[in-house]
């Protein structure tokens, strides 16, 4: 009997999602004779049994499309808000899977989606996770679809900011996505020739940034471009956030944990205007007018580039092969030019951060880019 599988996209949208859906679907339906259905709106669609069949016609023409044809959401399977209250929807999802006689549910998403997938797996639901994120912060995979396109977009932005910075003798700060991992800011900063790159993994000091800019001024260059990851903080803010986070981990009761989480969120909110504060501080320290550009969701949108179309296709088709062989409870990781299964337990809750001795870090230093540390 032919296998029946479901697929959904969760978390933030990213270029390459449709390529992965297509790769999975074309291989599953065309090569293995499976039946494929797509759940709308992420795991909420799975809980609400909201789906549509995906056949050759519905998979045609989506390779180059940005976003996701299935829609997405950031719901948590064990804390989904229903009628204004958080509810554990895992039993309901299990009923959906049984009712539709699904042999596997494939979840395309980032770190939060890996956690959702692990919870479903632990509940006995056959699942598989495909790694999607523009931050490239998922553990145990060489890459994630979405990153390559976002890197091109961010690099082009840094390229374009140089002309304005040069024309007006300004410092321009470009905020690039990356809460905890600085891969995108680091890659775009190097490829775009940023003069300073600030990462979450390397807490910065204003004096170090100012020194880099002053050295450029001494060489007759009265402008600079700073690429800053949205999660980058100076040493003082980093210490404050780490202390607040440690209180959450050491909380001895649910009440204490809730208070610690509220305090952590308050501190985070205080630092959300970090790029603008940094601009004021840099201007005061260097005498150069400083401005901020926040790239935001521009980095997520648009047509996926060739690399993300290829990666999504490879990982998607590999998932179909693994399902056919009876695998579940895994992430389909990028490995070199191919793919390999990794247990969800090894992935969920872990991040791939930029190592301080990574070749990209060494390259940045070698070409004279300031890292603020």
Angle CA(296)–CA(199)–CA(10) in degrees, nearest 5? 45
Helices (H), the chain: 17-25, 43-47, 56-59, 90-99, 111-122, 147-168, 183-192, 206-218, 235-250, 254-270, 274-286, 306-324, 344-347, 359-366
Name the active-site residue from 13, 135, 308, 324: 135
366 is catalytic: no
Q: Could you tell me if 21 and 59 are in contact, meaning their C-beta atoms sit under 8 angstroms apart? A: yes
DSSP category for residue 144: -
Q: What number of other Cβ atoms are within 10 A of residue 57's Cβ?
A: 8
140, two tokens: 């145990």
d(CA 346, CA 117): 12
Radius of gyration of the chain (CA): 22
Q: Looking up tokens 């840094």, which residue turns up?
A: 158
SS3 224: strand
Q: Is 330 helix (H, G, I), strand (E, B) or coil?
A: strand
- Report the C-alpha gap between 131 and 110 in whole angstroms: 6
Closest CA to 209 of 178, 181, 173, 236: 173
DSSP 8-state secondary structure symbol assigned to residue 333: E
Report the catalytic residues: 135
């Amino acid at each position: 009997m032919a296998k029946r599988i479901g697929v959904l996209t969760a978390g933030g949208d990213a270029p390459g999602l449709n390529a992965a859906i297509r790769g999975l679907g074309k291989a599953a339906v065309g090569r293995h004779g499976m039946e494929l259905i797509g759940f709308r709106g992420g795991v909420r669609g799975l809980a609400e049994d909201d789906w549509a069949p995906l056949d050759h016609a519905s998979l045609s023409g989506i390779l180059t499309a940005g976003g996701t044809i299935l829609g997405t959401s950031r719901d948590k399977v064990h804390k989904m808000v229903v009628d204004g209250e958080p509810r554990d929807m895992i039993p309901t999802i299990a009923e959906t899977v049984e009712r539709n006689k699904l042999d596997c549910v494939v979840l395309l998403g980032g770190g939060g989606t890996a956690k959702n997938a692990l919870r479903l797996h632990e509940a006995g639901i056959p699942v598989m996770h495909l790694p999607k994120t523009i931050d490239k912060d998922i553990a145990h995979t060489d890459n994630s679809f979405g990153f390559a396109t976002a890197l091109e977009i961010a690099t082009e932005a840094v390229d374009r900011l140089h002309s304005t910075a040069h024309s007006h003798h300004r410092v321009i700060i470009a905020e690039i996505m990356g809460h905890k991992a600085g891969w995108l800011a680091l890659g775009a900063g190097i490829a775009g020739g940023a003069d300073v790159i600030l990462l979450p993994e390397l807490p910065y000091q204003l004096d170090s940034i100012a020194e880099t800019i002053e050295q450029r001024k001494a060489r007759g260059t009265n402008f600079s471009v700073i690429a800053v990851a949205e999660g980058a903080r100076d040493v003082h803010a980093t210490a404050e956030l780490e202390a607040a986070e440690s209180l959450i981990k050491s909380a001895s009761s649910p009440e204490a944990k809730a208070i610690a989480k509220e305090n952590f969120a308050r501190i985070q909110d205080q630092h959300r205007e970090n790029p603008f504060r940094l601009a004021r501080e840099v201007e005061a320290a260097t005498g150069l007018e400083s401005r901020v550009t926040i790239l935001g969701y521009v980095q997520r949108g648009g047509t996926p580039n060739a690399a993300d179309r290829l990666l999504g296709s490879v990982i998607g088709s590999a998932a179909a092969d693994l399902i056919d062989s009876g695998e579940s409870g895994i992430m389909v990781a990028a490995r070199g030019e191919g793919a390999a299964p990794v247990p969800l337990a090894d992935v969920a809750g872990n991040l791939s951060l930029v190592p301080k001795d990574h070749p990209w870090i060494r390259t940045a230093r070698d070409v004279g880019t300031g890292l603020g540390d």
